[in-house]
């Protein structure tokens, strides 16, 4: 076997968040046609879950003004789970009407970040989760509803975030109707020991509802934190092509963990992702064409694949 797509069933789900997390945090707006080309290229590389847009008022995030058009395009791609970020009921309704398969809600464990990001307290956001769960049952009972606990590992506005606050909030979100609840290192404060501790507690408290790890690379620990989460049984990871990303309401936040590097890590470990690395690297072309001058990050795309690399196989000398 040489290089090429892996045929083993994926053992891990890489959820691409660049078209949402990435694009909302760069100043320029990617034209819709470029977004669609980029999403098509990500799908062609084997990604099967993409967070394609955020349903927020266009006056707050003009980069996301075409959210409904982007969703309507993405749902035509075979086998793709199309995810949309929704901060409130209005956004959830628009996303479901456009045909999104899955909604994701940011619920911040930091009071200060919650007010800055969605102008609601964490407790008010749990009530929003309950209302959206209800709306989902009425409009699209087959759609998924996931919550990402933002600033779960620390906050640029509040500083330390008590682990008890994070876990309590996760339990409340499940009780309010979320299918799964993941943990987000929105501003890159996390370390692997903390990631292990918090995901272990999360699994103890909410079992099979424990969701994705969403790591940022602000201090270079994104990949190490993903590996720590993997060791604790996490099997869904958010990542962003070229490491685009951040948070417009969290000063100092920088890019997500780089999809290319994360996929390389898993494939090199013998963990199948279903993603073809050369095609994934090729998906940078439409990204860069749509955002001229915007820096992209990542080591794998620069270094290339090691000689003799076989995807999905942990090679032994």
Give min distance, CB of 21 to Zn ion, in A.
Answer: 4
Taking the least distance from each CB to Zn ion, the nearer of 21 and 267 is 21
Catalytic: which of 155, 173, 226, 247?
A: 247
- Give 282's strand partners: none
Taking the least distance from each CB to Zn ion, the nearer of 222 and 311 is 222
Taking the least distance from each CB to Zn ion, the nearer of 21 and 180 is 21
Give min distance, CB of 169 to Zn ion, in A.
Answer: 17
Residue 224, φ and ψ in degrees, nearest 5 = -60, -40
Give min distance, CB of 265 to Zn ion, in A.
Answer: 19
Q: By CB neighbour count within 10 A (0-12 exposed, 13-18 middle, 19+ buried), where does 74 fall? A: buried
C-beta of residue 210 within 8 angstroms of C-beta of residue 174: no
Residue 115, φ and ψ in degrees, nearest 5 = -65, -40
Taking the least distance from each CB to Zn ion, the nearer of 209 and 216 is 216
User: Can you say whether the dihedral through the CA atoms of 254, 45, 270, 311 is positive or negative?
Assistant: negative
Give min distance, CB of 136 to Zn ion, in A.
Answer: 23
Give min distance, CB of 87 to Zn ion, in A.
Answer: 14
Is 247 catalytic? The answer is yes
Taking the least distance from each CB to Zn ion, the nearer of 155 and 268 is 155
Ordered alpha helix ranges (H), 232-303: 259-269, 277-282, 284-290, 300-303
User: Can you say whether the dihedral through the CA atoms of 199, 175, 161, 217 is positive or negative?
Assistant: positive
Taking the least distance from each CB to Zn ion, the nearer of 21 and 49 is 21
Ordered alpha helix ranges (H), 45-179: 67-74, 89-98, 111-118, 122-139, 163-175
Residue with smallest beta-carbon separation from Zn ion: 21
CA distances from 97 to 44, 140, 153 (A): 26, 9, 34
3-state helix, strand, coil in the chain (%, to 5): 45, 15, 40
Could you tell me how far CA 182 lies from the centroid of its own chain? 10
Q: Which residues contribute to the site for Zn ion (CB under 5 A)? A: 21
Distance CA 292, CA 311 (A): 31
For residue 240, what is the DSSP state? B
Q: Where in the sequence numbering do the catalytic residues fall? A: 247
């Amino acid at each position: 076997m040489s290089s090429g797509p892996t045929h083993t069933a994926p053992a891990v789900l890489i959820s691409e968040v660049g078209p949402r997390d990435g694009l909302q945090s760069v100043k320029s707006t990617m034209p819709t046609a470029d977004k669609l080309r980029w999403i098509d290229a990500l799908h062609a590389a084997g990604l099967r879950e993409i967070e394609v847009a955020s349903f927020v008022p266009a006056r707050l995030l003009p980069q996301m003004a075409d959210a409904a058009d982007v969703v309507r395009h993405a749902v035509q791609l075979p086998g793709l789970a199309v995810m949309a970020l929704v901060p409130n009921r209005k956004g959830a309704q628009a996303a479901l009407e456009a045909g999104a398969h899955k909604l994701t809600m940011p619920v911040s464990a930091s009071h200060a970040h919650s007010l800055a990001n969605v102008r609601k307290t964490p407790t008010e956001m749990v009530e929003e989760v309950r209302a959206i769960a209800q709306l989902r049952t009425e409009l699209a009972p087959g759609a998924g509803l996931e919550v990402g606990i933002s600033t779960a590992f620390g906050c640029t506005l509040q500083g330390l975030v008590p682990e008890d606050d994070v876990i309590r909030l996760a339990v409340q979100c499940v009780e309010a109707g979320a299918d799964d609840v993941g943990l987000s290192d929105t501003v890159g404060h996390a370390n692997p020991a903390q990631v292990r501790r918090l995901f272990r507690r999360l699994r103890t408290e909410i079992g099979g509802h424990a969701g994705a790890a969403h790591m940022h690379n602000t201090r270079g620990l994104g990949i190490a934190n993903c590996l720590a989460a993997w060791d604790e049984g996490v099997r869904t990871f958010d990542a962003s092509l070229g490491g685009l990303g951040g948070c417009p309401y969290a000063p100092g936040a920088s890019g997500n963990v780089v999809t290319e590097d994360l996929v390389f890590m898993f494939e090199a470990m013998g963990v199948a992702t279903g993603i073809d690395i050369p095609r994934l690297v090729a998906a940078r072309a439409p990204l860069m064409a749509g955002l001229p001058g915007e820096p992209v990050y990542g080591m794998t795309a620069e270094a290339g694949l090691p000689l003799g690399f076989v995807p999905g196989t942990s090679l032994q000398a």
